[in-house]
Chain A
Amino acid sequence: MTIAENEKEIIEDFALFSDWEDKYEYIISLGRELPLISDQYKTEDHLVRGCQSRVWLHADKKGDNIVFTADSDAIITKGIIAMLIKVLSDQPAAEVAKNDLKFIDTIGLKEHLSPNRSNGLVSMIEKMKLYAHAFSSGI
């Protein structure tokens, strides 16, 4: 599936939720399912520091594609990471680098990506794109 198809699927999933509780329960369940980052990458080098929750991110090359694994100490942060990974992981690095991730806004989770949400997500997305940019330009 392409990035756009993945985004569409998540947006459709979220359209089913009538209240915040269902929505967050779903995010929390995604967080629980997130493939954990391999312990060898759960290090300072891979840490994206947020003021409150912490995020670990690792990127691998698979042909022209980029594969992400990640973890967080907060479950909601982890759930949002799971969605980002679902959308962006194992996709062409060049596509990942230019994606603007509008789906987060569409499903009403924009506040988690605002600069005052010190959860590490904004920095994590920047880092994902940096990796993608580096991989696609062969750096």
Chain B
Amino acid sequence: MNENCFDTPATLKNSVHDIRKDFPILNTQVNGKNLVYFDNGASSQKPQAVIDSISNYYSTMHANIHRGVHTLSQRATQAYEDARVAVQTYFNAAHSEEIIITRGTTEAINLVAHSFVKKGDEVLISGMEHHSNIVPWQLAEVNLKVVKVKDNGELDMDDFKSKLSANTKLVAITHVSNTLGTINPVEEIIALAHQLGVKVLLDGAQAVPHIKVDVQKLDCDFYAFSAHKMYGPTGIGALYGKKDLLNAMPPYQGGGDMIKQVTFEKTTYNDLPHKFEAGTPAISEGIAFGAAISYLNGIDWTWAAQHEHELLAYATEEIKKIEGVKIIGEAVHKAGVLSFVIEGVHHYDLGTLLDQMGIAIRTGHHCTEPLMQRFGITGTARASFAIYNTKEEVQIFIDALKRAIKMLK
């Protein structure tokens, strides 16, 4: 693989018709119906380029990376490191070593919880966090403060300001809520925190499929994200961290690849990014992550944002016409997610019947139990959209929803 394998193509895709052709799974039939896949918030589907990348890797270049002198190892290392540079470029990080490859958002947050904070430090999170941005802090035994969520699903910025202080070690907040779809005012959060010298980690898992993130422009200190929600493979993601912060942090896990020299008396650690990447990584997934980035580089993001906005707006408008439906999360700025409850209908029943009609949505607490408690519910039904979804699919979903409600009420 040569160094320009993840380059941006000359023409950008801006047609849902063309994009759908790139995702073979969209032709699947489920229970005899054409699949309508609205569970993108949990994981998006993969374009052929990503699928081919994994197959190509194992067919032509598999070997362990970073150590071998032989050709295959060098080829695999080059492809893996090219992928890191592709991620760096896509997110506009200043240095490629600021991209720590992890198993995903969860591991990225756990890394920061392990290596950046210590027991008793004050960490400010919000009431709309995914469990993966709650539990790592509890394990680290920090002093957790929680910013309130308003009834419309927006972050209570007055509460944020009152809880943020120079004593805060870290603000760790989601960029986009997986349950509510709320896009948080992260620029304002970062500016306020930085005025007091407080560092900021953003959980970008739900943001990256919808928003083109520029980490330098945002000026966040850490940004955690997963490949599988942005059309890449599962089991891989990254932590972006500012170089000076990452350099000052102790390693997270010990093992091969992360060391310079090992003796029984003293071990010295490798430089960034390898210091945080112990053991043989998910090589094929890493390379396919690069292929996903390359695919995204070929998408017209202005079109994509507008397309997803239209899908959400149309679905919201249509669902509001159905009696007994209550939308959970009506923030002014939302991305890709429509969460709702229906009076007298359990979300499990709804999910089951929609599945019978070939429609995949997510039901349950979406790994945000405290947020469910905040709204006094046990779960919601959630439709979440991606660039390959269509208005026609939204219509099929709305019709199916009406049919399911009729059966269940």
A interface, CB within 8 angstroms of B: 20-21, 24-25, 28, 51-53, 73-77, 112, 118-119
Instruction: Say how far B406's CB is from chain A's closest CB, in angstroms.
Output: 10
A21 and B407 contact, Cβ closer than 8 Å, known pairs A52-B347, A74-B348: yes
- List residues of chain B with CB within 8 A of the CB of A21: 356, 407
Contact pattern, B 344-366, Cβ under 8 Å of A = 1, otherwise 0: 00111101110010000001110
Q: What separation, in Å, do the CA atoms of A77 and B351 have in the docked complex? A: 12
A52 and B363 contact, Cβ closer than 8 Å, known pairs A20-B31, A74-B348, A119-B348: yes
For A112, the closest partner residue in chain B by CB is B352
- Tell me whether B408 is interfacial, beta carbon within 8 Å: yes
A73 and B346 contact, Cβ closer than 8 Å, known pairs A20-B31, A20-B356: yes
The number of residue pairs between A and B whose CB atoms lie closer than 8 Å in the complex comes to 39
Q: What separation, in Å, do the CA atoms of A7 and B121 have in the docked complex? A: 60
- List residues of chain B with CB within 8 A of the CB of A112: 352
Is A24 touching B364 in the complex (CB atoms < 8 A)?
Answer: no
Interface size grouping (class) on chain B? 10 to 19
For chain B, residues 87 to 135, give those with C-beta under 8 angstroms from any C-beta of chain A. Answer: none
B interface, CB within 8 angstroms of A: 31, 346-349, 351-353, 356, 363-365, 378-379, 407-408
- List residues of chain A with CB within 8 A of the CB of B365: 51
- List residues of chain B with CB within 8 A of the CB of A25: 407
- List residues of chain A with CB within 8 A of the CB of B346: 53, 73-75
Main secondary structure of the interface of B (DSSP, over half): helix
Instruction: Say how far A47's CB is from chain B's closest CB, in angstroms.
Output: 13
30 sample A-B contacts, Cβ–Cβ < 8 Å, listed by A number:
A20-B356, A21-B356, A21-B407, A24-B352, A24-B353, A24-B356, A24-B407, A25-B407, A28-B349, A28-B407, A51-B364, A51-B365, A52-B347, A52-B348, A52-B351, A52-B363, A52-B364, A53-B348, A73-B378, A74-B346, A74-B348, A74-B349, A75-B346, A75-B349, A76-B348, A76-B352, A76-B353, A77-B348, A112-B352, A118-B364
A75 and B408 contact, Cβ closer than 8 Å, known pairs A24-B356, A53-B348, A119-B348: yes
Q: What separation, in Å, do the CA atoms of A123 and B346 have in the docked complex? A: 20
Instruction: Say how far A124's CB is from chain B's closest CB, in angstroms.
Output: 14
Q: What separation, in Å, do the CA atoms of A44 and B363 have in the docked complex? A: 23
For A79, the closest partner residue in chain B by CB is B349
For B378, the closest partner residue in chain A by CB is A73
Q: What separation, in Å, do the CA atoms of A52 and B379 have in the docked complex? A: 7
Q: What separation, in Å, do the CA atoms of A117 and B353 have in the docked complex? A: 14
- List residues of chain A with CB within 8 A of the CB of B364: 51-52, 118
Q: What separation, in Å, do the CA atoms of A118 and B347 have in the docked complex? A: 12
Instruction: Say how far A80's CB is from chain B's closest CB, in angstroms.
Output: 10
